[in-house]
Amino acid sequence: MKLTEDQMDYLKEVINIGIGRSASVLNKVVKNRVILKVPVVQIIMIQEMEKRIGWNENLLSIVSMDFKGDLAGKVALVFPSPSAVKMVDLLPDKPSPKLEMAQLRTGTLNEVGNIVLNSLIGTLGNLLKTRFRFSIPRFRELATNEVTGLFSSMSDSFILAETQFHVRDVDING
């Protein structure tokens, strides 16, 4: 898929608006100022995905969600697993001692993914004046080389938006 410069600018703006909306909601969740930046937006081929999202990590923490409507697809928020642990550490309230770290990370990342992904797709729907139905976000940890399997049936190209979360002097890449 090849986009014109104007189309790419429009896509970047849609993503920036969605990211801005999700930052506003995340501010309330972590009870601190969340800055989300989208430094890079690219269209990539599935063959490029592994090396682009790998961050040289063995495990990636992924929250994915399907959407349907006038457009259909899948969106995912992908973190190197160490960044996912940092995200959980930003919670303002002490977790219940009954929760294991894996449960806490799953719940936290599902919620963050839900906020970010719904904001992005919701913004796209608002701008296109259409509605989407969303699946429930699903968290999983996968090896870098397994990630393309999540998307291989969808398309041969993808929109990649590399984002940096910044909260309380902590940088989280995703």
Q: What is the CA radius of gyration of the chain?
A: 16
123-150: burial string, b at 16+ Cβ within 10 Å, e else? bbbeeeeeebebeebebebbebeebbeb
Which residues in the chain come in under a pLDDT of 50? none
Distance, in Å, from the CA atom of 126 to the CA atom of 13, rounded to the nearest integer, reads: 13
Contact 173, 164 (CB under 8 A): yes
pLDDT for the residue numbered 50: 66
pLDDT for the residue numbered 111: 86
pLDDT for the residue numbered 156: 73
- The structure's pTM equals 0.81
**Whole-number percent of the chain with pLDDT over 70:** 84
